[in-house]
Structure 1
Amino acid sequence: MNIRNFENEGRKFVSNMGNFHVLEYIKDSSVSPANATAEYFMGKMGVRRRQVVIELDENNSAIVQAGAMQWMAGDVRATSGIKGVGDLFGKMVKGAVTKESAVKPEYVGNGWLVLEPTYKYIILVDVGSWGSGITIEDGMFYACSGTVKNSVVARKNLSSAALGGEGFFNLSLSGSGIAALESNVPYDEMIEVELNNETLKIDGNLAVCWSSNLEFTVEKSTKTLLGSAVSGEGLVNVYRGTGRVLMSPVAPTNSLYAATNTVAAKAAAVTSNTFGH
């Protein structure tokens, strides 16, 4: 099968790892007069549409978030990835506690799988390079190789997690293969901290992912309530042990993408008023 015009002047593959590729719309020409202005300035700021493209063969399958498939070409078919009633129940429990879809379809066969475009950044991760595995923040999972195993890990200090407004559980990926993560921050702006039997304390959910073997708790920033009051800080996320933590330099937020829709709506209103008279 030949697929032409995958890449052109307006979109390029900007990241490749194994059979996973990231297609970025450098110039998005699929616009109308109503949103052309917003799209133009969004492109100048790097707010662009991106798609995950996966090559499938008999040795490479892919697990994706439910509803993420846009189109597939070749002898490609979707399976539920469920191995019995017990497996279904386990996946439902995982989905409930990690805020991910309970059932993630697995695509097998020979051909191409293209996922829905997103304005978020796509980070490709070699799961095997993280040793015992990689634990990711809620809502970041987008797709992974069929060889990657996923499980749920709990914070050791659940009472502090509740007080800090953090979730009790996170999704952990292990084994060999590639994972595609959705991020509000590009990879080249992230900070990687390598711990050698050391401690890292972070105020807020700046950590994007971390080594699964690290001890992860939520604690008071100081030993006493008075100290916390003086420092102006309350509870912090604490990572202990030997491993890596990938963190964002700024607090992740979805407001950017809500603002994108707002800007587009305002541009449409201005254009309508301008050309409507």
Structure 2
Amino acid sequence: MILLSFEENVNVISRFDNEQFKVEILEHKKLNGTDDVSLGDTLYFAQKSGITLKQVRITMKNSSLTTETGALQFMKGQLEMESKLGGVGGLAKKMLTSALTDETITRPVYKGSGEIHLEPSFGHFIILKLNNEEVVVDQGIFYCCDSKLDVSVIRQKNLVTGLIGGEGLFQTKVSGTGFLVVKVPVPEIEIKKEVLNGETLQVDGSFALLRKGKVEFTIQKSSKSLIGSFTSGEGLLQTFKGTGEVWLAPTLPAYNDIYLEDTDQDADDSPGKLSWIRRLLDIFS
């Protein structure tokens, strides 16, 4: 089959509609290469292992969209972009927050009617529909949302939780009613959504992506004494307690191990190039 157009070369793998928005997650069926033939091996093994390029397309009708800074690729229609700094005091506060959180000073807001394409990625996008709810996401996971949602930065309750917990001192909180698109490092099928009903969930590692509802995040020792925690081999555990939902990516540490093994090899050692792709192909074939 010969593909003749952009639309023929994409699948809509996820979609959300209401009166003001049509949100689509596009999957490019095939990348046919550029004028750089050296990319051929990479594209071949990526496609064989099921790695595809994805993109968020949003059609707006008299509405307002908030995105992560730098997410826009192109837009068409009666649309305008604005960034509210809130005056000198607001600017100073945002600059201080940005310096402390490694977050950008402000996120752009697009208003009007038209179509927006956001930057494509080999990562994975998920659409969440919030109904008077609250979601806290790890750094780098927020991608875009209905501007009716409130997007803010929250600080971990203590220094130990932020630095040792692996989640950072600050995270992004999104609350209200509307849609939210998150960018996650693994496919949704590899995300385990743990529902908590006044229970406690403890995680050894940094692979919790987000939490919904009234869930408190702390760091706790895996045994009664700090020495016991380290000698047990488990150390300190990310602890989630309350009522809500926690998204875990149990396969993420394995991907990180593959990446670290590959980067440890000499960059000029040609047999080691693409080893992570080949290894994934072996695993999933």
Q: Which residue of 2 aligns with 1:246?
A: 247
CA RMSD of aligned residues (A): 3.0
The equivalences for 1:172-211 within 5 A come to 172-211=173-212
Q: Which residue of 1 aligns with 2:109?
A: 106
The Cα shift of 1:99 comes to 2.7
Check conservation: 1:63, 1:105, Cα contact below 8 A: yes
Q: Which amino acid aligns with 2:221?
A: K
Provide closer, same or farther for how the CA distance between residues 86 and 251 of structure 1 changes in structure 2, counting only shifts above 3 A: same
The one of 34, 43, 61 aligned to 2:38: 34
Q: Which amino acid aligns with 2:41?
A: T
Check conservation: 2:207, 2:250, Cα contact below 8 A: yes
Provide closer, same or farther for how the CA distance between residues 74 and 182 of structure 1 changes in structure 2, counting only shifts above 3 A: same
2:75 pairs with 1:72: yes
Gaps spanning 5+ residues in structure 2: where? 274-285
The Cα shift of 1:257 comes to 11
2:117 pairs with 1:117: no
Q: Structure 2: how far apart are the matches of 1:229 and 1:34?
A: 47
Give the length in aligned residue pairs: 260
The Cα shift of 1:38 comes to 1.4
2:7 pairs with 1:7: yes
Secondary structure at 2:136 match in 1:
strand
Q: Structure 2: how far apart are the matches of 1:257 and 1:103?
A: 33
Deviations 1:88-135 (A, max 9, x none): 33433443344332221111111001111111111111133xx54000
Q: Structure 2: how far apart are the matches of 1:98 and 1:187?
A: 27
Q: Structure 2: how far apart are the matches of 1:122 and 1:110?
A: 23
Q: Which amino acid aligns with 2:235?
A: G
The Cα shift of 1:35 comes to 1.2
Q: Structure 2: how far apart are the matches of 1:229 and 1:104?
A: 41
Q: Which residue of 1 aligns with 2:51?
A: 47
| Identical-residue share of aligned pairs (%) | 34
Check conservation: 1:98, 1:171, Cα contact below 8 A: no
The Cα shift of 1:200 comes to 0.5
Provide closer, same or farther for how the CA distance between residues 189 and 109 of structure 1 changes in structure 2, counting only shifts above 3 A: same
Q: Structure 1: how far apart are the matches of 2:260 and 2:54?
A: 14
The Cα shift of 1:225 comes to 2.7
Q: Structure 1: how far apart are the matches of 2:262 and 2:190?
A: 21
Q: Structure 1: how far apart are the matches of 2:96 and 2:186?
A: 29
Q: Which amino acid aligns with 1:133?
A: E
Q: Which residue of 2 aligns with 1:273?
A: none
Check conservation: 1:20, 1:53, Cα contact below 8 A: yes
The Cα shift of 1:229 comes to 3.6
Q: Which residue of 2 aligns with 1:63?
A: 66
Q: Which amino acid aligns with 2:10?
A: R
Q: Which TM-score applies when normalising by structure 2?
A: 0.81
The equivalences for 1:14-25 within 5 A come to 14-18=13-17, 19-25=22-28
The Cα shift of 1:83 comes to 3.5
Check conservation: 1:127, 1:179, Cα contact below 8 A: yes
Gaps spanning 5+ residues in structure 1: where? 270-277
The Cα shift of 1:6 comes to 4.8
Q: Which residue of 2 aligns with 1:217?
A: 218
Secondary structure at 1:95 match in 2:
helix
The Cα shift of 1:157 comes to 3.4
Secondary structure at 1:249 match in 2:
coil
Q: Which TM-score applies when normalising by structure 1?
A: 0.83
The one of 76, 81, 84 aligned to 1:81: 84
Check conservation: 1:94, 1:151, Cα contact below 8 A: no
User: Which shifted more, 173-182 or 91-100?
Assistant: 91-100
2:129 pairs with 1:126: yes
Secondary structure at 2:94 match in 1:
helix
